[in-house]
């Protein structure tokens, strides 16, 4: 049982510091992951708040069949998909609002993505298809295994492996267009 699972058990047993620790540990990564679904850092923050609100109010059962982080990201993904179904991706913004969101989102990302390699990867990932970007984010930025990614996105391990190969190829081509090479892709 990892720290997240232990903190969740503490929360369920009445210790509110448990949920505070969970939020502190997983909030930033979950925001960036959900941003891959909604392409708006502010909406992603709201979705993370909704994710934690659901956990606090509904107290869903954590069975331990996956890591706590995998379970939490699955809940976040479901919250994002619910949001997208409701909104049908209709979001009209002025040019000034878009520039402000992009600029502030990038500064947030730079704080979180401290290593230059990850910044380059993240920027290149913005130019590949959203499904590819999501699985690569889970792998490179969150450190999930293929099996955990399969649980989060609701696909089989074989499907995720195929998607990962396709996504890595798309990212490699994008990086090469930008003059970069990464051997581990």
Q: Verify that 73 and 142 share a domain, yes or no.
A: no
- Residues 53, 108, single domain; the answer is yes
| 75 and 87 share one domain | yes
Report yes or no: 122 and 171 within 8 Å, Cβ to Cβ. Answer: no
Last residue of a domain, one of 86, 112, 138: 112
Distance separating alpha carbons of residues 38 and 60, to the nearest angstrom: 24
How many structural domains does the chain have? Answer: 2
The reported pTM is 0.68
Q: What is the extent of the structural domain holding 133?
A: 115-185
- Which CATH number is 43's domain given? 1.10.1740.10
The pLDDT of residue 120: 74
Same-domain check for residues 22 and 105: yes
pLDDT in tens, 37-74: 998 999 999 999 999 999 999 999 999 899 999 999 99
Q: Examine the domain organization and report whether 65 and 121 are in the same domain.
A: no
């Amino acid at each position: 049982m990892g720290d997240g699972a232990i903190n969740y058990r503490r929360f369920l047993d009445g210790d509110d510091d448990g949920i505070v620790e969970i939020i502190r540990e997983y909030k930033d990564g979950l925001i960036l992951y959900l941003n891959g679904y909604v392409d708006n850092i502010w909406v992603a923050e709201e979705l993370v708040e909704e994710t934690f609100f659901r956990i606090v109010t509904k107290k869903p059962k954590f069975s331990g069949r996956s890591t706590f982080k995998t379970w939490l990201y699955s809940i976040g993904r479901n919250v994002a998909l619910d949001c997208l179904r409701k909104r049908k991706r209709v979001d009209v913004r002025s040019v000034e609002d878009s520039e402000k969101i992009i600029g502030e989102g990038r500064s947030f990302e730079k704080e979180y993505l401290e290593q230059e390699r990850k910044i380059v990867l993240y920027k290149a990932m913005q130019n590949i298809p959203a499904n590819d970007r999501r699985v690569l984010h889970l792998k490179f930025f969150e450190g999930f295994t293929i099996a955990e990614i399969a649980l989060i996105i609701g696909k089989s391990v074989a499907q995720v492996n195929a998607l990962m190969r396709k996504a890595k190829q798309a990212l490699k081509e994008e990086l090469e267009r930008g003059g970069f090479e990464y051997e581990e892709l």
